[in-house]
């Protein structure tokens, strides 16, 4: 029996997520989509696909007959809006999968801690940059402690809609925090770059980790294994080149970011993410990895709920 879900947000992310659920998921069934723009392409597509719709936001969603059967609600709006949505939906007993940087619930990055918060009422998918890079930080940290982790996410300007642009501060704060809490780095920093190049370039991510001198072969193997785990649900996720290592000289200012590390290595990993083009163009890998991660998370939560109910 499938678990019924709803999507709040009829923009690019919400619409791509809806189509992924319809095309890819064997365990989730989309019952409704809510937006605030009656003329949005997302709501129009939902209606054509026989999905119940409302342009009256979360209040309209709750008023739909279809809402009674919904167990999981995806929020693909903004950090500010999510706080209101949580206030409305939490008392109604719905589980929220939050694709905004609001971070009201625990962070979830599927290949790192995908099974850690299956009973949580609200889980946060961090950010697109976080979903792409935190698995790498965690892979390095699994071999040797990461004293400092820094990520740079470069996305096509065209793929950054109004929600992304409005949440730039939240993006950096949420991603930096998740690099530490999920990736395991002692300190984390995140940078986002909106690339205006034409034609648009696909998402590129750079991960730098400062670690104590270690067995680089083991780090490389751990990173490559993690890339394979992400590719299981984001086929366009890949290493751009081999993992790079550089000894940090004793007088290098970088040493101040890793106090007490002794002999220090900088590990650099270069990634690119090509989208599956279900709704968004292929260059919008940043949005594709978010919707793919949210779908994977909700499927795990639904399977867990079914298992608990059958005991």
The CA distances from residue 112 to 131, 183, 219, 289, in Å, are 10, 8, 16, 15
Q: Looking at 6, 30, 112, 128, which residue is catalytic?
A: 128
SS3 content of the chain, % helix, strand, coil (to 5): 45, 25, 35
Sign of CA dihedral 248, 249, 253, 259: positive
What is the distance between the alpha carbons of residues 36 and 57, in angstroms, rounded to a whole number? 5
What is the distance between the alpha carbons of residues 289 and 20, in angstroms, rounded to a whole number? 12
Under DSSP, the state recorded for 2 is P
Task: Centre a 10 Å sphere on the Cβ of residue 39 and count the other Cβ atoms it contains.
Answer: 9
What is the distance between the alpha carbons of residues 301 and 193, in angstroms, rounded to a whole number? 32
Per the CB < 8 A criterion, the answer to whether 156 and 200 are in contact is yes
214 is catalytic: no
Catalytic positions, written as ranges? 128
């Amino acid at each position: 029996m499938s678990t019924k879900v709803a999507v709040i947000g009829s923009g690019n992310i919400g619409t791509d997520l809806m189509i992924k659920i319809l095309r890819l998921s064997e365990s989730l069934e989309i019952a409704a989509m809510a937006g605030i723009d009656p003329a949005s392409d997302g709501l129009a597509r939902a209606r054509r696909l026989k999905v119940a719709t409302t342009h009256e936001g979360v209040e309209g969603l709750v008023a739909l007959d279809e809402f009674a059967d919904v167990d999981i609600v995806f929020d693909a709006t903004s950090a500010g809006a999510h706080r209101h949505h949580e206030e409305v939906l939490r008392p109604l007993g719905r589980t929220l999968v939050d694709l905004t940087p609001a971070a009201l619930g625990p962070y979830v990055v599927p290949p790192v801690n995908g099974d850690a918060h299956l009973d949580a009422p609200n889980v946060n998918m961090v950010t697109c940059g976080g979903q792409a890079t935190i698995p790498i930080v965690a892979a390095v940290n699994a071999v040797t402690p990461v004293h400092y982790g820094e990520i740079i996410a470069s996305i096509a300007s065209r793929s950054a809609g109004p929600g992304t642009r409005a949440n730039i501060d939240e993006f950096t704060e949420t991603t930096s925090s998740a690099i530490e809490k999920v990736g395991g780095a002692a300190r984390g920093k995140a940078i986002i770059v909106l690339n205006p190049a034409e034609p648009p370039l696909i998402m590129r991510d750079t991960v730098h980790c400062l670690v104590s001198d270690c067995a680089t072969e083991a780090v490389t193997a751990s990173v490559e294994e993690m890339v394979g785990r992400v590719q299981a649900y984001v086929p366009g996720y890949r290493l751009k080149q081999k993992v790079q290592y550089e000894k940090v000289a004793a007088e290098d200012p970088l040493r101040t970011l890793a106090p007490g590390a002794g002999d220090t290595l900088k590990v650099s990993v270069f990634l690119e993410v090509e989208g599956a083009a279900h709704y968004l163009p292929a260059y919008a890998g940043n949005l594709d990895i978010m919707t793919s991660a949210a779908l994977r998370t909700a499927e795990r939560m639904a399977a867990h709920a079914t298992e608990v109910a059958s005991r």
